[in-house]
Each structure stands twice: as C-alpha cells, then as structure tokens.
Structure 1
Amino acid sequence: MSTAGYALTDSVTMLRRNLKRMLRYPSMTLMLIGLPVVFLLLFVYVFGGTLGDGLGAPTGGRAAYVDYVAPAIILMTVTAAVQGTAISVAMDMTEGIVARFRTMAIARVSVLTGHVIGSLIQTFLGLAVVIGIAVAVGFRPTAGVGGWFAAVGLLAAVTFALVWLSVALGLVSKSVETASNLPMPLTLLPFLSSGFVPTASMPAGLRWFAEYQPFTPVIEALRGLLTGAPVGADLPIALGWCAVIALGGYLWARRLYNRPAR
C-alpha cells in the first residue's frame, strides 16, 4: 500500500475513534447544541417583538426578527461546536494518548485529520437540529436549491476554518479547562456583528469593528443566500476570511503538533 493509502486508512481509523467518543459522551454534543438554541429562544421570544419593529421591515415584530437573527444563531452553532474540538484535542494531548500514537506505525497526519473530519460531522448534525428548531419557531427561508447548496458550502468553509483554529487552540492549551475557555471569543464575536442588530444602530467605534470583523460578511452572505437576497461582495469576503483562518489555523496546528515532546 502506498504512503497516501496508509494515511487514508489511518485517518479513517482516527475518525472512527472520534465518532465513538462523540457517541460515548452525548452530553457534550447536547451542551454545544443547547447554547445556540437557548439564545435563539431568548432573542426571538423575549427581545424579538421590540427588535423586529426596529428593523424597518414591512411586517416587523417577532416574525421579521426570527428571519433576521436565524443566520447569526446558525453561525453560533458552528462556533459552539468547534469549542468541543479544542476540548477533545486537549484531552488527547494531556492524557498522553498522542504520545502513544507517536510511538506507533501510523501516519502522523491521521490524528489531526480524524479530529477535523469528526468535528465537521458533529457540527453539521448540530446545524440540522438548530435549523429545524429555527423553522419550528418561525424561520422561513426562501432560498431555492441553488441558494441552499451555496449556504451549505459556505457553512462547510466556515466550519473547516474554525475547526483548524480550534485544533490549534487545543494543542496550545496546557489543560482541558484552558481549552474550553480559549475558543470563547468565537462564541462572543457574533454578538459584535450584524447578527443580532444592524450595524447602523451601533456607536461609531463599535460599528467600525462590527463591519470589518470576519463574522459580519459571513452572516450577511448566509442571510442573503437563505432569503434569496443579493449577497454582493459579502460572499467573496466571507470566503476570503475562511481561507485565511483555515490556512493560519492549519499551519499553527501543524507546527504545534510536530514540535518535539518535552
């Protein structure tokens, strides 16, 4: 078997290991999905009526706001799910299993590949649940088949980028507790974007930050794709941010993983 064949076989084995861990600890998956669901229900049923009236939409109220906020909650599902990736990687590093893997005749790349692909699967399962709940509370996307394919592709790109960043955060963490805290800014950034209120309503300094941080073009592109509205420059900007974050996270993770053991 060729080197690439061994790497693929070992990666499948590591993926199976991570999927079994996901099934063995369902509480972690439920916790990561539960956070965006709680925020969805909070913003729709507590703040939705007032915030929806301020959007300037023809209908206004809660019905308008659930369509506005759903893309931000969908992105929060991704940021919450990848937090589990950092925790899983840190568990492997601190419990010594990675040191054991390094003594075995397996492809080094397979360990991280298993984490990345497993996290992608877990995240999309979470996205399916959250989108289903969003539809149940009134979210009404009007996208056609092409729009849905484009939205899924964008979510895959965002997830892939943030997973690699979270892998690096897990590798750099000295403990599982640290790994659970380092990705927290990823969960908070959607609040400082156009996800929950239009940036035009923000003070000047905060508005500048909200308009130029990575999550705003992602949310705006996702919102446009799901509602059939023009996405303009938001989609290429969002994909550009995904490429930068993915490349930076991958190179950082590879450097951390290949450093000599202490």
Structure 2
Amino acid sequence: MSAAYAVSDCLTMTRRELAHWARQPVQVVVGLVFPVMMLLMFGYLVGGGRAVDGDYVDFLVPGMLTLTMVFGLEGTMTAVTQDLDKGVIDRFRAMPMTDGAVLVGRAAADMLQSTVGLLLMIGVGYAIGWRAEGGFGAFLGAVGLLLLLRFAMLWIGIFLALVAGRAELVQAVQILVWPVGFLSNAFAAPESMPGWLGAFVEWNPMSATATAVRELFANPGGEPGWVGAAVLWPVLLVVVFFPLAVRRFGRLGR
C-alpha cells in the first residue's frame, strides 16, 4: 500500500505541474518557440563555413536538438524557485505526502514538455531539409540519448534551484549555461577551433551526446563509438545530482 500511495502522490504532483501549462500558455509557447528561432537563425543567418563535411543543416540540427535539452535547465530552476519563494513546497512538506513526490512530479512534467519540444524541433528540422538517414531504430536510439541528457540536466537544475532558493539567482546560472552550451560542437566542428579549445569542447558532455546523435542519424560530424560516452556522462550526472537533490529537499526548513 505504501508503494501505491507513493505512486498516487507522484501522479498528483505531476498533474499539478501540467495544470500550470493551461494557466501559463505564453510561458510554454515561448519555451517551445525559442529553440526553433535559434535553429532558424543559425541555419540561415550565421550557418556554414565551419569545417563541416556535408550540408551544414544536417550538422546543425542534431546539435540544436542537444542544446535544447541543456537549455531546459533554466525553466526547471525557475519553476522550483518560484514554488520555494511562494512557500508552496513548505505547505506540501507539511501534508501527509510521500517524500520526494514534489520532485518526481516536477521531473515528470519537465520530461513531458521536453519530449514535446524535441518532437517540435525534429519537425522543424525536417521542414528546413534535414533528414535522419540512420533508420528507425537508430532514430529512436538518438531520441533516447537526447532525453537521457535532458533527464540529467533536469536533476542538476532541481538541485541548483533548491540550493539557490530564490528565483532571481536563476539569472546567475543562466550566465553559466550559455557558455557551456556554446562551448560544444553544437554549431561548429572542434577541428575548426584552436587546439586547446577544441580539446575542451570534445570533453564537454553535451558534445558526446551531439556526436553520438549525429552518428545515429547518419549526419555529418558523427563518429562511431560515442554512444557509450553519451550514455555514461548523463548517467554519471544523475548518480551525482539525484541524491544531492533529494537530500537537499529533505533538509529544507532545517
């Protein structure tokens, strides 16, 4: 019965998070449209000439899909810190509710929104001429790797939000997220960069996912053997930040 109550609590908190979509449609739409604007901007305004063998759009789209999974961290942090500021989480903690149901509900809603955003980006990619040439099984594998990265970033965002405690501190994290996202191979091949910078870019966990996804999509910039790294990095991040987030949540108010 305790397991049934835990599942029920988690589903209740997930429905609460999804109900916010209906009350804040502009925020949801902006979150979905922004990565599309980035894709179109880099694809048509500043794309090309980046030491990429083949069509630049085929190189760019997998990178943008990966970048979208990383940039979702900011929305996660904002939602959690807003609940902290308003005292909502304190009220939930005072109720007879399974510990961690709030975090699971937040995670489930974020993963659903990320899946919708990913499908939208894939559709836009097809509309501008990008194609996944690796077959249906490889396509599903690439989508799985992208969502795995999002899941890892999600728990990083939850932990940082619980540590920050205030919505205004999210801006400080946003300043760091952008360099991490751009210091990857999302937009340009490491070969086109200075040696020291290219080496740093290749060690970026985001670059591992982007490279593996390009390989599965059979797009330019993919390299065999990167799928393992694209799995290992997110799993390692989850192993570190999931327990940290749960522990921090349990200590709130102490």
Q: Shorter-chain TM-score category?
A: over 0.9
Instruction: Please state whether the residue corresponding to 2:253 is helix, strand or coil.
Output: coil
- Report Cα offsets for 1:182-222 as digits up to 9, x if no partner: 25533432321122111011112211110111111110001
- Give the match for residue 64 of structure 2: 73
User: RCO (CA 8 Å, sep 6+): is it higher in 1 or 2?
Assistant: 2
Unpaired stretches in structure 2, ≥5 consecutive residues: none
- Report Cα offsets for 1:60-88 as digits up to 9, x if no partner: xxxx0100010111112212223211111
Contact 2:14 2:105 in 1 (8 A): yes
C-alpha distance in structure 2 between counterparts of 1:160 and 1:73, whole Å: 17
- Give the match for residue 251 of structure 1: 243
- Give the match for residue 11 of structure 1: 10
Deviation at 1:231, TM superposition (A): 4.5
> Which TM-score applies when normalising by structure 2?
0.93
Counterparts in 2 of 1:19 and 1:180: CA distance versus 1, 3 Å: farther
Note the aligned Cα RMSD (angstroms).
1.8
Contact 2:32 2:117 in 1 (8 A): yes
The aligned amino acid for 1:200 is: E
- Give the match for residue 207 of structure 2: 216
- Give the match for residue 189 of structure 2: 198
Counterparts in 2 of 1:121 and 1:226: CA distance versus 1, 3 Å: same
C-alpha distance in structure 2 between counterparts of 1:204 and 1:228, whole Å: 24
C-alpha distance in structure 1 between counterparts of 2:61 and 2:228, whole Å: 21
Counterparts in 2 of 1:56 and 1:143: CA distance versus 1, 3 Å: closer
C-alpha distance in structure 1 between counterparts of 2:43 and 2:107, whole Å: 32
Aligned to 2:140, which of 138, 142, 149?
149
Deviation at 1:5, TM superposition (A): 0.9
The aligned amino acid for 1:31 is: V
- Give the match for residue 237 of structure 1: 229
The 5-angstrom pairing of residues 80-119 of structure 1 reads: 80-119=71-110
Pair 1:120 & 2:86 matched = no
Contact 2:69 2:147 in 1 (8 A): no
- Give the match for residue 55 of structure 1: 52
Contact 1:33 1:80 in 2 (8 A): no
C-alpha distance in structure 2 between counterparts of 1:187 and 1:160, whole Å: 18
Deviation at 1:144, TM superposition (A): 1.0
Instruction: Please state whether the residue corresponding to 1:182 is helix, strand or coil.
Output: helix
C-alpha distance in structure 2 between counterparts of 1:218 and 1:127, whole Å: 14
Unpaired stretches in structure 1, ≥5 consecutive residues: 58-63
Contact 1:167 1:253 in 2 (8 A): yes
- Report Cα offsets for 1:100-124 as digits up to 9, x if no partner: 1111111112110000010000001
Contact 1:82 1:119 in 2 (8 A): no
Aligned length: 253
> Which TM-score applies when normalising by structure 1?
0.90
Pair 1:175 & 2:174 matched = no
- Give the match for residue 32 of structure 1: 31
The aligned amino acid for 1:87 is: T
Identity among equivalent positions (%) equals 31
- Give the match for residue 135 of structure 1: 126
